[in-house]
Structure 1
Amino acid sequence: MTDKATPKAAAKKAPAKKKPAARKPRATKKSSAKKAGPGWGRKLWSICWKLGLILVVVIASYGIYLDQIIARKFEGQKWHLPAQVFSRSMALYPGAAVSHGQLMAELKLLGYRKVANPRQVGEFSASKTKIDLWRRPFLHPQGDQVEQRVMITFDSNGVVSVARNSDKRQLAVFHLEPVLLDRIITGDGEDRLFVATDKLPKHLVEALILVEDRSFYEHHGVNPFAILRAAMVNISAGRTVQGGSTLTQQLAKNFFLSSERSLTRKIREALMAIIIDFRYEKNEILEAYLNEVYMGQDKARGVHGMGLASQFYFGRPIAELTVAQQAFLVAVIKGPSYYNPWRYPERAQDRRDLVLRLLMEAGELNNAQYQAAAESPLGLRKANRSVHQKLPAFFSVVKHELANRYGDALLQQSGIKVYTTLDPMAQEAAEKAVEQTLKQLGKNDESLQVGMVLTDKYSAGIAAMVGDKVPSYKGFNRAVEIRRPIGSLIKPFVYATALNQGDKYNLASPLKDQPITLKNGQGKTWSPQNVDKQFRGQVPLLTAFKKSMNVPTVNLGMAIGVSDVATTLDKAGWREKIPEYPSMLLGAVNGSPLMVAQVFQTIADDGRYRHLNSVTTVLNAQNQPLAASRPQASQAIPAASNFLVKYAMTQVVESGTAKRLGNNFPYVTLAGKTGTSNDSRDSWFAGFDERNVAAIWVGRDDNGKTGLYGSSGAMAVYQAFLNNRAPLSLRMAPVDGVVQGYFERNSGVAKQADCDGVVKVPALRESYQPVANCGEPLPWWKKMIGG
C-alpha cells in the first residue's frame, strides 16, 4: 500500500499561508471633504475676520476723516455771512428836523404795525401830534439798544419831546433801528441772516420737529424706523412720496453733500449724521439746520435760514411773526418752489394749515388759536418791495469809500456790518422825482439824463443818490462821474468872498452892470453878457445875486480877485483843479453833482467844511468797530458872511430865478441857486431846506443842447422831490456878528432904520456903521457945539 496523504491530511500538514494585510478602503469624495472641513473653515474664518478688521479700520479711518471735516465746519466758520449794509439810524430828540408824517413813513418802512394801543414790540399808535412807539431791540454802532416804549410829540417845526412811557423821563436822544438795505455777497451766492436758537420763536421750532423729525431728540442722527416706514410707503405708492431722513441727515446733506441721489451719498450722509449727533448738542444741530435750510430764491440769490426767510416772505424780524406765519416758514421747507406763496397762494395756504393742525393735535395750540391762525391771510410783504434795495449809484460810492478807508479785503470778511448815511425815505422820494420829471422832460428829448445827490445837513452824510433816469440801472453813475460846467452855481462863492470884506461890500452895495471885455488864458477876448442882453448901469449886490446877473458878477469877481474866489471854493471842499481865468466867475469849472453837493453842504452848514461820507461805522463779526481815519472839519467861510450868502439864496427862491419853487411852497423858507451852462447844455440846481442839501444836474451824455435852464430842468426835479417829501422850513437862526442893517437903496450907504429910501437886509456888525441923521447936514447950532 502506498504511503499517500489524503487531502485533509495534506491540509493539516501544509504550512499555513500568511494572510495579506487588509487594504484600507478608498476614501470617497464625501468623506474627504468632511475630514478636511475644519481646516478650510479656519482659513475662511481667518480671512473673514481679517477682512472685517480691515473694513472696520477703513470705516473708522473714513469716520475720522468725516469727523475732521465736520469739526472744521461746526467749530470754525459755519457760513460766510454776507456783509450787511444798513441805512442811517433815525435820531429823534427835541428840535430834531423830523416831522410827524416822516416818522410815520419810516415806521411803515421798518415794518412796524399801527394799532390802537401798542401791546408788544414792533407796534405803534398815532394821533395828530403824538406817536406812541414800542421800539424793537437792535444793534446800534454805539452799542445794543434795548426794546423801549416812548411817546414822541411834534409841532410844525419837528420833534418837541421824546419821553419814556414807564417813568415819563425825557430822553436826550432816541434812535430807531436802521433799515437793512442789502447784503453784499462775495462768495457762493447764498444769502442768510444768522439767528441764534434762543431768538427763534417757540412755535416755529415745535412745528419743525413735528413736521420734519418727531423723534429728533431721541434718535442718534439716523432713524432706521423712519427709513423703513418711508420705504414701505414709497413701494406701496410706486413713487417717492415720503422721506426717512432726519433733520441731522438733512443738515449733513445741506452742509457737506450734493443733491445727487445715490446709495453712496446716502451712506455718507448717514455716517455724517451719526458723527454730528455724537459730537454736538441737539440745540446746536437745530440752530445750524434753521440757519442753513434752503427757503426760496430771490432772483439770483438763494434764501437760506429762517432769519432771512422771515424778511423775504414777510418783511419783518422773525421774533415778530404770528403763529400762522411761523407755520408757513416750516411748511415751505418741503418745496420752496412748489409752495411759492406769490405764485401758488392756495397751495401754500393749505400746506400752512396742515402745519397748524399738527400743532393743534400736539396740544401746542388750542382750538380757538388754531381757528384764528388758519383763518388769517398769509400776510406776505408786497411782491414789488425787495428785501434788498437797488441802489447802484449809492452802493458804488459805499464800496469805494470802504476800500479807501478800510482796505480792499474788507468785504471778504464774514459777518461785518456796514452802517451808512443813506436816508431810505429821501432815496425813495428822489427816485420818484427823477422818474416823474425825466418822463415829462423826455417827451421833447428822450436822451436827457440826470445825476442827483442829497446830503444830510446835520451829519454831512450822503442821504440819497441817483445816477441815471432809471434809478435802478447799474452803470455810468452821473452823480459822481460826470464833469460838466457848473454855470451860475459858482456865484455864491464869488459873493461869499466879497461879503467877507465887510468894509467894502454888503448886500446893498451897488455893482457895475456895464460892458466889460477881458482876455482869457489863451489871449482871446471875452465879453460876458446878461441873459437878457441888457445893461443897467449898476444894480444892488443882492439883486445881481438873486437874478443871477452875469456882468455885475464878473465885475465883482475881478475887483476881489479870481484867485481869492478859487481859494474860497477850494476851502469849501472843491477837490479838483480850478482854472483861475475870468470865465471861471461864471462857472467855467467842470464838476459833478457830488462835488457841487460838497460845497453847498458847506454853505448850508454855516460855512463849516466837513467831507461828505457814505459810511459812518463798520463793525466786525464780533460787533466791534473797526478803526478808520476821517478828514478833519474846518471853518471854510466865516459864519457871519456865510449867513449873508444863505440869506441871499433864500431870496433867489422868494423872488429870484427860483421863484417858481417859492410859489409852490409859499410858507416854507428854502434856499436855492439855479445854474445853466453855455447854449443850455447843462441844467443845474443846488439848494437846501432845514434837513437836506440837494445838487442836481440834467443834460445829455453827448453834451448836446437841451433847451433847458436851471429853473426848467434841474429845479423841476427838486420841486418834485419836495412834493414827494415835504420840506422843513429853513431856520435862519441869528449868527454872531450879524445884525439887521439898513442901507440907502441906490448908494448902499448904511443908514438908520427911520431914514427914507432904505432897504432892510442883514449885515456884518463890525462894518455896519450907519451915518447920523440919515446923512443930512447938521443944523448950525449943532456944528457950534461939535455935533
Structure 2
Amino acid sequence: MTDKVTPKRKPKKVAKRGSVKKVSAVKKAKNKARANKTSFGRKLWSVTWKLAVIALVVVAAYGIYLDQIIARKFEGQKWHLPAQVFSRSMALYPDAAVSHSQLMAELKLLGYRKVANPRQVGEFSASKTKIDLWRRPFLHPQGDQAEQRVMITFDSNGVSSVARHNDRRQLAVFHLEPVLLDRIITGNGEDRLFVDTDKMPAAIIDALILVEDRSFYQHHGVNPFAIVRAAMVNISAGRTVQGGSTLTQQLAKNFFLSSERSIIRKLREALMAIIIDFRYEKDEILEAYLNEVYMGQNKARGVHGMGLASQFYFGRPIGELTLPQQAFLVAVIKGPSYYNPWRYPERAQKRRDLVLRLLMEAGNLNVAQYEAAVESPLGLRKSDKPVHQKLPAFFAVVKHELASRYGDALLQQSGIKVYTTLDPMAQEAAEKAVKQTLTQLGKKDPSLQVGMVLTDKYSAGIAAMVGDKVPSYHGFNRAVEIRRPIGSLIKPFVYATALDQTNQYTLATPLKDVPITLKNGQGKTWSPQNFDKKFRGQVPLLTAFKKSMNVPTVNLGMAIGVDSVATTLDRAGWKDTIPEYPSMLLGAVNGSPLMVAQVFQTIADNGRYRHLHSVTTVLNANNQPLAAASPKGSQAISAASNYLVKYAMTQVVESGTAKRLGQAFPHVTLAGKTGTSNDSRDSWFAGFDERNVAAVWVGKDDNGKTSLYGSSGAMAVYQNFLNHRPPLSLRMAPVDGIVQGYFERDSGVAKEAGCNNIIALPALRESYQPAVNCGEPLPWWKKLMGG
C-alpha cells in the first residue's frame, strides 16, 4: 500500500507588525490623495462654472450696453450732415437775360459733358445758336425736378425759346440745378454727402463686396475663417498684408471705436459687429458703410462716404462716373493716403486695375470691357479746381442772414439745405477782375484794397461779393464793413428827387453854375468847386449829371431841399444815418459797397425798393421749407422819374465821366456813375447792365490818399469784370408816363420836333409842354393827346 504523499504547502509569510502598518498608511495616503483630487476638481469646477456665469453675465450686460449705443446711432441720427449751401438755380425762359456763352460756361461749371449727341443725363451738344441739353434730376426749392432733355435757342437779347426735346413743347421756365458751393462744417471736421444705396452704381457695391468682404451676405458680422486665413498669410509674410475684418466690423470701428491696435479693441469690434448684424438688415448695414467709410482728406476736412468722394476725386455726381472711376473709389478704401491719385498716380492706377480684374474674374465684366477699362486714365478732376468754393465775404453775409431770419441754432440742425442767390459765374468774373486790376494798380500803391458787390437786378439777390484784394482771405470784409464817403454816387438821388417834381425840372432844364457859399449853424462857410475849378454860368441838367459837376448839383439840391434828397435816399434803401447838411449833396455820407448796391439796385429795378438778400430758401432734413419773414418792397422813386435817371446814367457811360467804359463796349448800353471822395481817398463806381448791378470801392484801410478817381480805380475793376462776363445791353423801353421830348439846347424850353437848335430827350408827359410852330403853346386838344 502506497502511502499518500501530501504536497508541501508554502509556508505563510507572516507580516511583520511594522510592514502591516506601512501598507495601511499607503492605502490611506492614496485614498486621501484621491479624495483631495476629487475635492480639488469639484472646487475647480465650482469656481469655473461660477466664473463662466459671471463672465457670461458681464458679457451679456456689456452686450446690452453696446446694443443701446448701437441702437442710438442706427435708429437715431447716424451722422450730423453738414448744411449744404447752394448757388442760385439758373432760370431759362423766353427773353431771359442769359447768353449762349454764359450758359455754356454754367454747364461747364456744373460738370456737364459736351458731346456730339446727348445720350444720357449730364451731357449736351451745342451749335452757334442752340444748345441741346439733357439735364440731371435735382432737388429744387419748389420740389423735385426730374431729368429732362430740352433744346434752348438764343438770339442777340438772350434766350429766345426753351422746348422739350421729345415733343417740341415750349416751356414757360426751365431750371438748371444749382451749384453746391460748400457744406458748413460745425462738428468734428467730417464732411460727407449722403447717398441712398439705390442711387449707388451697382458696380461699386459688387466691387466693394468682392474686394472687402466676399461672404458679407453669409456671415453674422464676424467671419472666423477670414480671420484665420488672414493670420496665416500675415505670419507667412512676416508682416500685416491682409485683414480679416468684415464690412460690419469696419463699420463698427469707424462708427464707435478708434484705430488703436489692441486685442481689447478687436474683441469689442467683433462683439459690436455681431450685434449690428443681429439687429439690422444687410442692406442697411451696407448703406451705412458706403456713407461712413473714410475716403481721403481735403485739407482740414475728412472726406467720408462714396457720394462726397465722387465729387472730391472726379468733380461730378456718383451716378455719372464711368466704370473705371467707380472701381477706383473701391480701390482707394484700402489706403486713401497711400493711394492718393494726385501724388501716386501709378500706384493708384495699379490698385484700380486690380479691382477691375476681380470684377472680370467674378463675371461682372467680360474681357473686352476689362481691357478697355484698364486702358482708360484715372479721369481725376484738376487738382487746382476746388471741391468747394472759397467765398468768405459772401458766406459771412449768408450766416448773418440765416441767424437773423431763422435763428442762431439753424446750422446745428443736421441735413439742412440752404439755397442762396450767388451766381457762380459772376463771382468767378468778379474775383478775376479784382485780382488782375488790384495787381495792376498795386504796382504804384501796394496798400490799395477793394470791396465789390454784385446783385441780380431781377431778384434783388446778392450775385457776387469780394471783400479783399485776395478774395479767399478770411478777415475784414470791405464789401460790408467799411464806412467811407460815397462822393458823387449820391448825385443820382439828388437828380431823381428833382425830376420827380412834375413841371419843374426836365433833363434839359438849365442849372446855375455860379459860385455859391453856404454857412452852417456854427458860422463856418463852405464853397463847393467843380472838378476843373471853372464856372460856366449855367448848364443843362443832363450835362451837369453826366459830367458830375458839383456846383450845379449843390444849387439844385438846395432848391429842392436837402431833406427831400435824404428822404429819397432813405426810401431807396439807405438804412443808415443820413446827415442833412449841404455837403451831403456831394456825398458826405458814409457807406459800404453793399449799401451802395442796395440803392442802385432800386434805380436798376425801375425805382422799386426790395431789400437785398443772400438766402432764398432753407429746407430741413425732410426737404420741407422753413418759414422765415421777408421784408416787403415798395416804390421808392416813381417809375417815370426813375427812367430819366437811368437814361442819364447811360449818358454818363456814353459821353460823361465813365465814357472810357462806353468806349470799351461800344455796342452795349450800360448805366454807370463814378464817385470820388475828397483828396481822392476813395474811388467809387456803381453801374448796371441788363442783368447785374455793381458797386465797387477802391481805397486804403488807413484812409490815405490814393491818387485815384472813380473812373481810374473802381471803374477799372468793373470794366475788367465785364471783360470776363460780357455784358447784356440794357433794354431801355420807355415806361408809362415817358414821352419823347424836344428841347432847345440853350434854354431848355420844350419845343416840337423840327425846330432849330433842339435836342431830343425823354421827358415826363406832365412836364413836356412844347410850343406850336416852335414858338406858340400847344392847343388843349393836343395836350390831352400827350403832344
TM-score scaled to structure 2, two decimals?
A: 0.95
Counterpart AA for 1:766:
E
**Structure 1 partner of 2:88:** 88
Counterpart AA for 2:101:
G
Aligned partner of residue 696 in structure 1, secondary structure: strand
Contact 1:521 1:581 in 2 (8 A): no
Contact 2:324 2:374 in 1 (8 A): yes
Aligned partner of residue 144 in structure 2, secondary structure: strand
Whether 2:195 is the aligned partner of 1:195: answer yes
Provide the C-alpha distance between the structure 2 equivalents of 1:507 and 1:452, rounded to a whole number of angstroms.
31
- TM-superposed deviation, 1:430: 0.2
Provide the C-alpha distance between the structure 1 equivalents of 2:560 and 2:301, rounded to a whole number of angstroms.
59
- The equivalences for 1:646-685 within 5 A come to 646-685=646-685
Provide the C-alpha distance between the structure 2 equivalents of 1:43 and 1:329, rounded to a whole number of angstroms.
58
**Structure 2 partner of 1:549:** 549
Provide the C-alpha distance between the structure 1 equivalents of 2:85 and 2:29, rounded to a whole number of angstroms.
86
Provide the C-alpha distance between the structure 2 equivalents of 1:377 and 1:57, rounded to a whole number of angstroms.
56
Counterpart AA for 2:44:
L
**Structure 1 partner of 2:33:** 33
Contact 2:330 2:355 in 1 (8 A): yes
Aligned partner of residue 98 in structure 1, secondary structure: coil
**Structure 1 partner of 2:620:** 620
**Structure 1 partner of 2:292:** 292
Contact 2:191 2:303 in 1 (8 A): yes
Contact 2:86 2:180 in 1 (8 A): yes
Contact 1:129 1:153 in 2 (8 A): yes
Provide the C-alpha distance between the structure 2 equivalents of 1:313 and 1:243, rounded to a whole number of angstroms.
26
Counterpart AA for 1:392:
P
Contact 1:437 1:716 in 2 (8 A): yes
Aligned partner of residue 773 in structure 2, secondary structure: helix
- TM-superposed deviation, 1:168: 1.0
- TM-superposed deviation, 1:746: 1.1
Provide the C-alpha distance between the structure 1 equivalents of 2:726 and 2:202, rounded to a whole number of angstroms.
43
Counterpart AA for 2:247:
L
Contact 1:457 1:691 in 2 (8 A): yes
**Structure 1 partner of 2:235:** 235
1:522–1:617 Cα change, 3 Å: farther
**Structure 2 partner of 1:155:** 155
- TM-superposed deviation, 1:766: 1.7
- TM-superposed deviation, 1:441: 0.5
Provide the C-alpha distance between the structure 2 equivalents of 1:35 and 1:729, rounded to a whole number of angstroms.
111
Aligned partner of residue 333 in structure 1, secondary structure: helix
Provide the C-alpha distance between the structure 2 equivalents of 1:509 and 1:523, rounded to a whole number of angstroms.
32
Spell out, residue by residue over 1:369-388, the C-alpha distance to the aligned partner (whole angstroms, 9 max, x if none): 11111111111111111111
Provide the C-alpha distance between the structure 1 equivalents of 2:103 and 2:713, rounded to a whole number of angstroms.
30
- The equivalences for 1:196-345 within 5 A come to 196-345=196-345
- The equivalences for 1:88-107 within 5 A come to 88-107=88-107
Provide the C-alpha distance between the structure 2 equivalents of 1:574 and 1:757, rounded to a whole number of angstroms.
40
Counterpart AA for 1:580:
E
Provide the C-alpha distance between the structure 2 equivalents of 1:579 and 1:184, rounded to a whole number of angstroms.
40
Provide the C-alpha distance between the structure 2 equivalents of 1:266 and 1:88, rounded to a whole number of angstroms.
48
Residues 759-768 or 637-646, more deviating: 759-768
Aligned partner of residue 690 in structure 2, secondary structure: coil
- The equivalences for 1:479-518 within 5 A come to 479-518=479-518
- TM-superposed deviation, 1:169: 0.9
Contact 2:617 2:626 in 1 (8 A): yes
**Structure 1 partner of 2:8:** none
**Structure 2 partner of 1:456:** 456
**Structure 1 partner of 2:473:** 473
**Structure 2 partner of 1:127:** 127
Spell out, residue by residue over 1:699-738, the C-alpha distance to the aligned partner (whole angstroms, 9 max, x if none): 0111111000000000000000000000000000120000
- TM-superposed deviation, 1:30: 2.5
Contact 2:134 2:148 in 1 (8 A): yes
Provide the C-alpha distance between the structure 2 equivalents of 1:160 and 1:373, rounded to a whole number of angstroms.
42
Provide the C-alpha distance between the structure 1 equivalents of 2:522 and 2:708, rounded to a whole number of angstroms.
29
- TM-superposed deviation, 1:586: 0.3
Residues 27-36 or 335-344, more deviating: 27-36
Spell out, residue by residue over 1:649-688, the C-alpha distance to the aligned partner (whole angstroms, 9 max, x if none): 0000000000000000000000000000011110000000
Provide the C-alpha distance between the structure 2 equivalents of 1:248 and 1:737, rounded to a whole number of angstroms.
74
**Structure 1 partner of 2:592:** 592
- TM-superposed deviation, 1:166: 1.4
Residues 275-284 or 747-756, more deviating: 747-756
Contact 2:771 2:777 in 1 (8 A): no
**Structure 2 partner of 1:783:** none
- TM-superposed deviation, 1:42: 2.9
Whether 2:720 is the aligned partner of 1:735: answer no
Spell out, residue by residue over 1:584-631, the C-alpha distance to the aligned partner (whole angstroms, 9 max, x if none): 000000000000000000000000000000000001111111100011
- TM-superposed deviation, 1:36: 4.4
Whether 2:420 is the aligned partner of 1:437: answer no
- TM-superposed deviation, 1:520: 3.2
Contact 1:249 1:273 in 2 (8 A): yes
Counterpart AA for 2:24:
P
Provide the C-alpha distance between the structure 2 equivalents of 1:132 and 1:343, rounded to a whole number of angstroms.
38
1:67–1:742 Cα change, 3 Å: same
Aligned partner of residue 774 in structure 1, secondary structure: coil
**Structure 1 partner of 2:702:** 702
- TM-superposed deviation, 1:332: 0.4
Provide the C-alpha distance between the structure 2 equivalents of 1:144 and 1:737, rounded to a whole number of angstroms.
43
Percent of residue pairs bearing the same amino acid type: 85
Spell out, residue by residue over 1:98-134, the C-alpha distance to the aligned partner (whole angstroms, 9 max, x if none): 0000000000000000000000010000000000000
Provide the C-alpha distance between the structure 2 equivalents of 1:268 and 1:43, rounded to a whole number of angstroms.
31
Aligned length: 758
Aligned partner of residue 187 in structure 1, secondary structure: coil
Contact 1:520 1:583 in 2 (8 A): no
- The equivalences for 1:553-564 within 5 A come to 553-564=553-564
Contact 1:516 1:527 in 2 (8 A): yes
Provide the C-alpha distance between the structure 2 equivalents of 1:581 and 1:214, rounded to a whole number of angstroms.
82
Spell out, residue by residue over 1:302-352, the C-alpha distance to the aligned partner (whole angstroms, 9 max, x if none): 000000000000000000000000000000001001110111111111111
Aligned partner of residue 295 in structure 1, secondary structure: strand
Provide the C-alpha distance between the structure 1 equivalents of 2:613 and 2:703, rounded to a whole number of angstroms.
29
**Structure 1 partner of 2:63:** 63
Whether 2:406 is the aligned partner of 1:406: answer yes
Provide the C-alpha distance between the structure 1 equivalents of 2:339 and 2:697, rounded to a whole number of angstroms.
47
Counterpart AA for 1:673:
K
Counterpart AA for 1:413:
Q
Contact 2:769 2:777 in 1 (8 A): no
Contact 1:458 1:605 in 2 (8 A): yes
- TM-superposed deviation, 1:776: 5.7
Aligned partner of residue 480 in structure 1, secondary structure: coil
Aligned partner of residue 271 in structure 1, secondary structure: helix
Aligned partner of residue 632 in structure 1, secondary structure: coil
**Structure 2 partner of 1:165:** 165
Provide the C-alpha distance between the structure 2 equivalents of 1:739 and 1:629, rounded to a whole number of angstroms.
40
Counterpart AA for 2:51:
L
Contact 1:694 1:718 in 2 (8 A): yes
- TM-superposed deviation, 1:767: 2.0
Provide the C-alpha distance between the structure 1 equivalents of 2:57 and 2:636, rounded to a whole number of angstroms.
77
Contact 1:452 1:697 in 2 (8 A): yes
Whether 2:345 is the aligned partner of 1:364: answer no
**Structure 2 partner of 1:4:** none
- TM-superposed deviation, 1:41: 2.9
Specify every segment of 5 or more residues in structure 2 that has no aligned partner in the other structure, as ranges: 1-16, 779-787
Aligned partner of residue 766 in structure 2, secondary structure: helix
**Structure 1 partner of 2:381:** 381
Contact 1:511 1:538 in 2 (8 A): yes
Contact 1:468 1:478 in 2 (8 A): yes
Contact 1:94 1:161 in 2 (8 A): yes
- TM-superposed deviation, 1:156: 1.0
Contact 1:579 1:589 in 2 (8 A): yes
Provide the C-alpha distance between the structure 2 equivalents of 1:593 and 1:99, rounded to a whole number of angstroms.
27
